[in-house]
Chain A
Amino acid sequence: MHDMSAHAAAHQGPPTSFVRKYIFSLDHKVIGKQYYGLGLAAVIIGMVLSWLMRIHLGWTNYPIPGLHLLSKSGAAGDVMTPEFYLQLMTMHATFMVFFVLTVAPFAAFGNFFLPIHVGAEDMPFPHFNMMSFWVTFVAFCVMVSSFFVGDGPTLGGWTQYAPLSAVGAVAGPGEGAGVVLWATSIAIFCVGQLLGTLNFIPNVLDLRCKGMSLWRMPLPTWAWFITSCMGLTAFSVLMPACIMLILDHVAGTSFFVASNLVINDQLQPHSGGSTLLWQHLFWFFGHPEVYIAIVPGMGIISHVLITNMRKPMLSHRVIVYSLGALAVLSYMVYGHHMFVSGMNPLSSLLFSFPTLLITIPSTILVLIWIGSLYGAKLRINSASLFALGFISMFITGGVSGFFLAQPSIQILLHATYFVVAHFHFTMAIAAIFGIFSGTYFWFPKMWGRMMNETLGKVHFWCSFVGVYCIFMPMHYLGLAGNVRRYQAFVVDYMQPLVGVHRFITIAALFTGAAQLIFIYNFIHSRFWGEPAPDNPWQGTSLEWSTPSPPPHDNFGGRHVVVYHDPYQYGVQSSTGDYVMQDSPEQVQTAHEEP
């Protein structure tokens, strides 16, 4: 099998020109770093947008200096209009969900480490892999461009519910060109991610080195493989939905717009479309997308924890089965986003049941993590702290999921801050903590230098406390009936909640500022950090068998042969308490799974 991967690398040869080496590179490691950079740019944009929203929510009529530069019509006098608030919210979610939570844990880390984890020299189709990044980059540019076109980006929320998203500029600022650019960008993004899955799946199935059976793959690689399978089916459904949305806009078709619709006193020239059709197509993508964001993080933090616990998880296989169960169930639960859409109540029941069911694999995962941590002498470092933070966020968000899974309670809490708190904890912050954990863990391998541990720990504690201060109070806001997407507190019952919002805003600014520590640490370490050894964490998987950073063909022409399961810790070997996967040394172990 290694012959095939050798072929893949030999096919390219080491690049010599600057363009081939750093820009249009075929090397999966460079493409992974490019994806990471794209994710970093998007997360900065998304975070700044959230700051602007939070400042507005805390002090509604307070001018934000320079805001008019973003939108002349939406922020005249530097004070946000309600429409501009919604535009910022939509873009915050879009950048975060697509260009951060999908790009960083899946495309960035997956590209860099999946081929190395399975002992391959590169992805099977390097040209498609390069296209995958650049297509995604074009999608990113199209999305950014919507800030500078017409009356700004769309305000319809990242879900772009029809019919308002499908009727054009009459529905509000950004609902014309803004929506078309949004849908175009997302359709392009889908193509980019599908090209990614086209590489990930054959890489796992066909390019594993000698001895690398499927069960010997480390957990992140399993997670990326499962995520690829989800992405394959999810993105190929979102893309046609976006095409139909664009046609409703530019060609006057009526896929999603019903008859006799009057908006702003204007009868819309559409007939007979189904507004629920968009929701079905969108959420068939949208719910798996939640798991596309979180499953790689689950794999990454398992990997990080095992290395720092110096013992394997209670069961490698049950983790893989649970991740697989999450993937399968993620397609069966999407209707729980539509409990109040007017669906048949029986449908709600049918979607509610698998939604409760999906808590079982989630709970199993959490129990395995906690059970494995019990009694372990965990090394406390930045990576393991963020991994623990991931578990904490996932549990907190998961518990509120129990409430929302039941239609009778969800109808009360629908579209309130309770939901905002729930999904930020489970899929957003947990996934971001997974990305941070992966970054602190793999930075030495990716860039060949160590990150500053003290700064990393400070970054963790500020982020951990800050995030809880932001999102915990949102549960109470939701229970008090504070509807999300309101930009001001015009109703009497909301007035007492203004103080809570101000507290959240201060927490958000503090937490955001704490990220500067990470950015400083990242840049400083990248250039001036201590040079990293090949295996700084005494890990066992194949990425630690290569130099830091790995050479062009990953293993320097060596044909890797794997002899061990991925997590052989707590053994006595010539190297210490672990044995590397590609070490032929025979060891005595109590952890081998049958």
Chain B
Amino acid sequence: MATTIPEPPKIEEPRSSGGNSGNGGFRSLVPSDGNLRAVQDYAPPPSKTGIWVALAAISMTFAAFTSALIVRQGAAMDWHHLTLPRILYFNTLVLLASSLTLEMSRRRVAVFMGGTRNFDLNPARWLYVTALLGVVFVAGQYLAWLQLRSEGLYLATNPNSSFFYLLTAVHALHVLGGLVGLTYVIRKLHRVVLRRSTLDTFSYYWHFMGILWVYLLLLLWMKL
């Protein structure tokens, strides 16, 4: 039966910004010199959704590596014990510390946006520390590879060493990608304006790298 549908437009409320980003106003911009500019930050939701899409893809990639490791372990009797280089534990602390320093930076940004124009709270300083810790982490991973190499364990020596190099290298590549992102964030902060959403999106990625590394360390520790 025909009915008359008045059909007012279904206006959807913008999704809740959540956290500290996406308030849609100029207050979400953080210029390095402390001068707020009247430019609006429209676009946090796509960047937030986008970073979750990217993290989902990275998770699936490492899930595939994990299942490969488990299947390969059960496939043959050539699985040997591999003692993890001790420097990995130091590297773990470094990466976790970098997450903390990143949060320090975000705190500074939050205080800044709360209206306190305190120039001593330069968020860039903590971003530099984060970047430095990231570089130290990658260098530390390289030292771990050198240590295995000195023990005669190369990529193709046995399946354990293959998976060790593979998983740590792919993770280190992602951390290097994060460092490129961090360089972009710092550059934005100094040269133009940094969107708060950009910083938040980057922080999701960086924290995820830390969580992923702890997972990988546990996996390598248990399985290799």
Contact = CB atoms under 8 A, between A and B. Distances in A.
A588 B76 contact: no
A563 B65 contact: no
Contact of B68 (A211, A244, A588): A244
Contacts of B6: 586
B142 to A, nearest CB: 18
A220 interface: no
A201 B49 contact: yes
Contact of A271 (B14, B24, B78, B166): B78
Contact of A592 (B5, B11, B53, B75): B5
Size class of B's contact patch? 35 or more
A6 B53 contact: no
A6 B9 CA distance: 19
Interface in B125-164: 155-156, 159, 162
A206 B22 CA distance: 12
A205 B48 CA distance: 11
Contacts of A213: 10, 12
Contact of A244 (B9, B42, B166): B166
A124 B50 contact: yes
Contact of A272 (B49, B159, B170): B159
Interface string A274-293: 10110011001000000000
B106 to A, nearest CB: 22
A580 to B, nearest CB: 13
A125 interface: yes
Given A232-B57, A589-B5, A271 B12 contact: no
A254 interface: yes
Given A206-B45, A236-B61, A198 B3 contact: no
A198 B55 CA distance: 10
Interface in B37-78: 42-43, 45-47, 49-50, 53-54, 56-58, 60-61, 63-65, 67-68, 71-72, 75-78
Contacts of B71: 274, 276-277, 280
B3 A253 contact: no
Interface in B90-115: none
A520 B10 CA distance: 45
A3 B42 contact: yes
B222 interface: no
A252 B159 CA distance: 11
Nearest to A590: B2
Contact of B162 (A203, A254, A587): A254
A124 B43 contact: yes
B120 interface: no
A579 to B, nearest CB: 10
A70 interface: no
Contact of B156 (A210, A252, A274): A252
Contact of A247 (B1, B9, B155): B155
A97 interface: no
A420 B144 CA distance: 50
Contacts of B75: 258, 272-274, 276-277
B158 to A, nearest CB: 8
Contacts of B24: 3
A4 B4 contact: no
Given A197-B53, A240-B65, A272-B75, A563 B162 contact: no
Nearest to A564: B7
Contacts of B45: 4, 202, 205-206
B61 A239 contact: yes
B42 A124 contact: no
B77 to A, nearest CB: 7
A222 B159 CA distance: 43
Interface string B1-36: 111111111111011000000001000000000000
B5 A125 contact: no
A208 interface: yes
A272 B78 contact: yes
| Chain A interface residue bracket vs B | 35 or more
Contact of A253 (B10, B11, B63, B155): B155
Contacts of B63: 237
A271 B64 CA distance: 21
A1 B50 contact: no
Interface in A1-18: 1, 3-4, 6-8
Contacts of B166: 243-244, 247
A42 interface: no
B53 A202 contact: yes
Of A243, A561, A584, which is in contact with the most chain B CB atoms at under 10 Å from its CB? Answer: A243
A6 B46 contact: no
Given A564-B7, A586-B6, A255 B68 contact: yes
Nearest to A572: B2
Contact of A201 (B53, B65, B76): B53
B177 to A, nearest CB: 12
A251 interface: yes
A259 interface: yes
A240 B61 contact: yes
Contacts of B42: 3-4, 6-7
A206 B12 CA distance: 11
A241 interface: yes
B9 A561 contact: yes
A125 B46 contact: yes
Which residue of B1, B5, B24, B72 has the most chain A CB atoms within 10 A of its CB atom? B5
Interface string A204-236: 011110110100100000000000000011011
Contacts of B12: 1, 208, 210, 213
B43 A8 contact: yes
A564 B5 CA distance: 10
Contacts of A252: 155-156
Nearest to A278: B68
Given A236-B58, A237-B61, A254-B156, A206 B9 contact: no
Given A198-B54, A588-B3, A1 B14 contact: yes
A590 B2 CA distance: 4
A206 B46 contact: yes
Contact of A273 (B8, B15, B76): B76
Given A4-B43, A562-B9, A232 B159 contact: no
Given A244-B68, A589-B2, A590-B1, A255 B46 contact: no
Given A124-B43, A194-B57, A590-B3, A281 B68 contact: yes
Given A254-B159, A280-B71, A206 B7 contact: no
Contacts of B72: 255, 272-274, 277
B2 A588 contact: yes
10 contacts: A205-B45, A213-B10, A213-B12, A237-B64, A244-B68, A252-B155, A255-B162, A272-B75, A273-B72, A561-B9
Given A1-B14, A206-B49, A586-B7, 14 more contacts: A4-B43, A124-B43, A125-B46, A197-B53, A205-B49, A236-B56, A237-B61, A243-B166, A252-B155, A253-B159, A272-B72, A272-B77, A272-B79, A273-B159
Closest 10 CB pairs of A and B: A272-B76, A124-B46, A274-B75, A7-B42, A252-B156, A272-B78, A236-B60, A202-B49, A211-B9, A202-B46
